[in-house]
Amino acid sequence: MKYLVPIILFLAACGSENKNETTDIATPETEVESSPNKYEGEDHFGKIIKLTDGGENAEAYWSFDNKSLVFQRTDKASGLNCDQIYYGPIDAVLKGEREFAYSMVSTGKGKTTCSYFLPGNKEIVYASTHPSHEECPPELDRKQYSSYVWQIHPEFEIFKADLSGKISHQYTDNEFYDAEATVSPRGDLIVFTSDRSGDLELYTMNIDGSNVKQITSDLGYDGGAFFSADGSKIVWRASRPQSAEDQKMYKDFLADHLVSPSDMEIFIADVDGSNVVQVTDLGGANWAPYFHPSGEKIIFCSNHHTKGFPFNLFMINIDGSGLEQITFDEAFDSFPMFSPDGKYLSFSSNRNNGGGRATNMFVAEWKD
């Protein structure tokens, strides 16, 4: 993360012609200790593969059969001016048999975010603004704000599409922000974030979109939720403004469809929102959490150790003990996700980008 704006925009943290463009990006590289893809102290990593080379690539999430990834990508140099969703097979890449190749599965219109596989691994959910705006949303004039903010686009709606890009279902259709959808390994629930209550809260719905339930209610931005491997719990990041001044600022920003992401902590709960536990109390921005396959630990991104840059990956027990630093890039590591079989960790990073601004996707062999 050489700079704040392009990375932090990923936090929001997912009928027209589908482009289905395929691009071979990077030859898999077998890691040695001196590799530029790996830093001293990253002892949980074995071999690391750099999957992309250029642009902004983030939120690479695994299919339930460990064979594919979906992710979001922006590359203004090639005319891709805001995030679109891409899909790529990964199993042969992990075996060293081929390069990583991907194709667009969103419409190529509007702005997208937060894709995730559905049961069966042949369809995905993602959020998009394309029904309201076929062009990228206007960029925010950040000079008028004293703190960093990002936009919560009320035009985001959640869709289901197959891997050829054909949309088969629209889950939401309203004037509110609906995005950040992920799917339970049990195949029964989707969790997502919406501001339909007047605050940014977590909701669940059945896999067909029925039975929508609000499961959080405290003031603050609840978002970026994921299920545990057994589908019994969720983990997410949330802001919790405490002072009257901070609460007013949060509400004023939200009224303008904005949030300030500088202070967030990690929480867990049962899938119905009960038994909430605040796992971290570190200060700074703690976000992008994901359960370890055991369900007893959480990996997440944080700048609590710097209160600025770098952002690195940390792991912590679900009771808040045993904090451990996992990555040591000098700029940005985030969006970790364990493969369902627990053998690999996908993440995005500014490492080994030639000193530029590119954020690339990596997959590391995981060692407990």
The CATH number covering residue 158 comes to 2.120.10.30
The pLDDT tens digits for 12-53 are: 454 333 333 333 333 334 333 446 799 999 999 999 999 999
Tell me the C-alpha distance between 34 and 324, whole Å: 22
- Helices (H) and strands (E) in the chain — how many of each? 3, 27
CA angle 311, 7, 18 (to 5 degrees): 140
Averaged pLDDT for residues 333-341: 98
- What gap in Å lies between CA 193 and CA 220, rounded to an integer? 12
Question: Is this model's pTM higher than 0.85 or not?
Answer: yes
Which H helix or E strand runs over 289? strand 286-291
* Overall domain count for the chain: 1
The pLDDT of residue 307 is 87
37: tokens are 């893809």
Single out the residue of 3, 124, 122 nearest to residue 60, CA to CA. Answer: 124
Domain that holds residue 229: 4-366
Q: Which of 229, 348, 232, 339 is nearest to 288 (CA)?
A: 348
Q: Encode pLDDT of 89-126 as tens digits.
A: 999 999 999 999 999 999 999 999 999 999 999 999 99
- The pLDDT assigned to 24 comes to 36
Question: CA 367, CA 318: separation in Å to the nearest integer?
Answer: 19
Between strands 56-62 and 150-151, the pairing is unpaired
- Report whether 127 contacts 180 (CB < 8 A): yes
324 has pLDDT over 50: yes
Q: Which residue has the higher pLDDT, 140 or 360?
A: 360
